Structure 1
């Protein structure tokens, strides 16, 4: 074969493979679809996680993305002004009642907690619709959304120390928010979200990281979690990574069918202590 012909052949095969391969985000959502097969939001039982204090919650407009106002759920501890802030990022189901209740629980621990909405008001009732909504999220728009959430907590709510927490789809965005604002975010909590293991990216992080994962999660397998932990250690990022035996993906969601009470309660206590140490200095 002529040399030029071989070059074109190689280029053509490369383009074909690129076209046929999924992006990392699509691959992650495919895995989440498999992990949530047969799952659905059920009657909410998140009161099992005792709320520590009285709170007040309301819907607020905290951002404008591409000319559209973005509404989230803000919950604040009663009698506490200028409390530390937390950006709360929903699972792939969307900003539903479970996320609002978890936001109230964080506020009950003494934080001004803002649950963001990356789905523009849409809430999923099935894995298929959740996957569709997750795939529709534009990365640049989501990051603009989350950046403005930080600004809202900092400027409008007087929060100096601000952390971020997310579950599943939101866990992935919790890490992405930290990577985008390594000098602003003071604490990052990731519940079984898509991970980054490249040390060149992770070395920019300047805040401690708490990671909560399930041993039986095939979407975010223990091997990947351990690789993430090793990479954080290699670049000197303070971290606390926990893999729970007998728990799968979404084990900490009391409104889903994958809930594992004992593991979820322990993870919540670790979350509370982590946030106290890094946002309140206690």
Structure 2
């Protein structure tokens, strides 16, 4: 059943005082439902990320599409997206600080049960939530889609609280299968409960119906795959249902 939902923008700040603007969605008249952070691709907090937040709300969760660049900046130009993303890498703490600020504002919403929170992320946003989980954030579950799996600081034994699901395209040329194996070794050594699903014939960006358009406009190796999108979302919702019940 698809629930009626409410949406609003939520303004918050990181530790350095940057204004960030999240897009919040929840079932109408929701009281203390589980919350989910939605972390965007490197394009910024765009309509795609907001759509995923609305879908989560329709499934009974409260969700916030987060702003990693400030003032909800978005672009469709890969060179601009790369520049904004790299700005967040300059300081080792920026990514986790901004993701933590988003998690705190999500937990503070009256519709959210702060004891039941999870995070999902796409591409760059997958790295964001993986680093958030590595930092020891109180997340029950994490699901990533065609994510950058590299770590600012590798996971430490006993620190990661989330169960992690990585959804990765078999034909992803940006994050190799060797990278995936390295990530699995990192999680195993840190004793993190995790699972990796390799999606057949799927490229980087497989979950986004606009991936082919963005690929053509920017000469980057992205590709939408409807079957991979469907399977990955099913696996994500199964994880959320199990961990946030």
State the TM-score, normalized to the length of structure 2: 0.86
Per the TM alignment, residue 73 of structure 1 is displaced from its structure 2 partner at its CA by 0.3
| Structure 2 unaligned spans of 5+ | 213-222
The equivalent residue for 1:156 is 109
Distance in 1 separating the partners of 2:164 and 2:118: 10
Match of 2:219 in 1: none
* 2:242 paired residue number: 277
1:64 Cα deviation after fit: 4.4
Partner of 2:60: 110
The answer to whether the Cα contact below 8 Å between 2:42 and 2:82 also exists between their aligned partners in 1 is: yes
Alignment partner, residue 181 of structure 2? 226
Please name the residue that 1:144 is paired with: 97
Give the Cα–Cα distance (whole angstroms) in 1 for the partners of residues 23 and 168 of structure 2.
26
Which residue of 54, 59, 79 maps to 2:9?
A: 59
Relative to structure 2, which stretch is displaced further, 230-239 or 106-115?
230-239
Structure 1 unaligned residues grouped into runs of 5+? 1-50
Whole-angstrom distance in 2 between the partners of 1:69 and 1:104 = 23
- Secondary structure at 1:73 match in 2: strand
Q: Distance in 1 between matches of 2:150 and 2:231?
A: 25
Q: Distance in 1 between matches of 2:31 and 2:129?
A: 25
Deviation at 1:58, TM superposition (A): 1.1
Of 92-101 and 200-209, more deviation after overlay is shown by 200-209
How many Å apart are 1:267 and its aligned residue? 0.5
Determine whether 1:87 maps to 2:42.
Answer: no
Contact 2:92-2:152 at 8 Å conserved across structures: no
CA contact (8 A) 2:118 2:141 kept: yes
The structure richer in helix per residue is 1
- Per the normalisation by structure 1, the TM-score is 0.75
Is 2:225 the partner of 1:263?
Answer: no
Moved more, 109-118 or 221-230: 221-230
1:200 positional shift: 6.0
CA contact (8 A) 1:199 1:234 kept: no
- Structure with greater proportional strand content: 2
In the alignment of these two chains, the number of paired residues is 229
- TM superposition shift of 1:197: 7.3
Counterpart selection for 1:178 from 121, 133, 139: 133
Contact 1:198 1:231 in 2 (8 A): no
Q: 1:112 to 1:64 in 2, by over 3 A?
A: same
Larger radius of gyration: 1
CA RMSD in angstroms comes to 2.1
